[in-house]
Protein backbone atom coordinates (compact mmCIF):
# COMPACT_ATOMS: atom_id res chain seq x y z
CA UNK A 1 0.00 0.00 0.00
CA UNK A 2 1.47 3.37 -1.01
CA UNK A 3 1.00 6.60 0.85
CA UNK A 4 -1.13 9.28 -0.77
CA UNK A 5 0.85 12.23 -2.09
CA UNK A 6 0.16 15.58 -0.54
CA UNK A 7 -0.07 18.62 -2.79
CA UNK A 8 3.04 20.79 -2.65
CA UNK A 9 2.72 23.73 -0.31
CA UNK A 10 3.09 27.16 -1.85
CA UNK A 11 6.19 29.03 -0.92
CA UNK A 12 5.82 32.41 0.66
CA UNK A 13 7.42 35.14 -1.36
CA UNK A 14 9.66 37.68 0.31
CA UNK A 15 8.08 41.10 0.76
CA UNK A 16 9.09 43.61 -1.88
CA UNK A 17 11.96 45.86 -0.88
CA UNK A 18 10.97 49.51 -0.61
CA UNK A 19 12.40 51.73 -3.31
CA UNK A 20 15.20 53.94 -1.95
CA UNK A 21 14.47 57.63 -1.63
CA UNK A 22 15.86 60.02 -4.22
CA UNK A 23 18.75 62.32 -3.36
CA UNK A 24 17.41 65.81 -2.55
CA UNK A 25 20.32 67.62 -4.25
CA UNK A 26 20.30 65.88 -7.65
CA UNK A 27 16.68 64.56 -7.71
CA UNK A 28 17.93 60.98 -8.17
CA UNK A 29 19.99 61.69 -11.31
CA UNK A 30 23.45 61.42 -9.71
CA UNK A 31 24.67 64.55 -11.49
CA UNK A 32 24.54 68.24 -10.61
CA UNK A 33 24.60 71.03 -13.20
CA UNK A 34 26.24 74.39 -12.47
CA UNK A 35 26.34 77.57 -14.55
CA UNK A 36 29.77 78.58 -15.86
CA UNK A 37 31.04 81.96 -14.64
CA UNK A 38 33.48 84.07 -16.65
CA UNK A 39 35.55 87.00 -15.41
CA UNK A 40 37.93 87.67 -12.57
CA UNK A 41 35.94 90.05 -10.38
CA UNK A 42 32.27 90.03 -11.30
CA UNK A 43 31.92 86.42 -12.40
CA UNK A 44 29.48 86.97 -15.26
CA UNK A 45 27.27 83.91 -15.83
CA UNK A 46 27.26 82.50 -19.39
CA UNK A 47 24.72 80.29 -21.15
CA UNK A 48 27.03 77.28 -20.73
CA UNK A 49 26.62 74.62 -18.03
CA UNK A 50 29.03 72.20 -16.43
CA UNK A 51 27.89 68.80 -15.14
CA UNK A 52 29.57 67.02 -12.25
CA UNK A 53 29.09 64.14 -9.85
CA UNK A 54 26.70 64.81 -6.96
CA UNK A 55 28.76 64.92 -3.76
CA UNK A 56 25.80 64.09 -1.51
CA UNK A 57 25.02 60.67 -2.99
CA UNK A 58 28.30 60.08 -4.91
CA UNK A 59 26.43 59.55 -8.17
CA UNK A 60 24.12 56.77 -7.00
CA UNK A 61 20.98 58.95 -6.95
CA UNK A 62 19.87 57.50 -3.62
CA UNK A 63 19.37 59.61 -0.51
CA UNK A 64 22.08 59.15 2.13
CA UNK A 65 21.05 57.04 5.11
CA UNK A 66 22.62 59.27 7.78
* pLDDT at residue 1 is higher than 70: no
Sign of the torsion angle spanned by Cα atoms 32, 49, 34, 27? negative
62: DSSP letter: B
Q: What is the pLDDT of residue 9?
A: 82
Minimal CA–CA distance to 33: which of 63, 54, 15?
Answer: 54
What pLDDT, on the 0 to 100 scale, is given for residue 66? 66
For the chain, which residues make up each domain, given as ranges? 20-66
**CB neighbourhood size of 29 (10 A):** 15
Paired with 22 in beta bridges are 62
User: pLDDT tens digits, residue range 6-50?
Assistant: 888 888 888 888 888 888 888 888 888 888 888 888 878 888 888
Residue 53 has pLDDT above 70, yes or no: yes
Amino acid sequence: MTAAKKPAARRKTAPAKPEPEKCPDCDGKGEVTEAVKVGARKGRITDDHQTGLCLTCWGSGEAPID
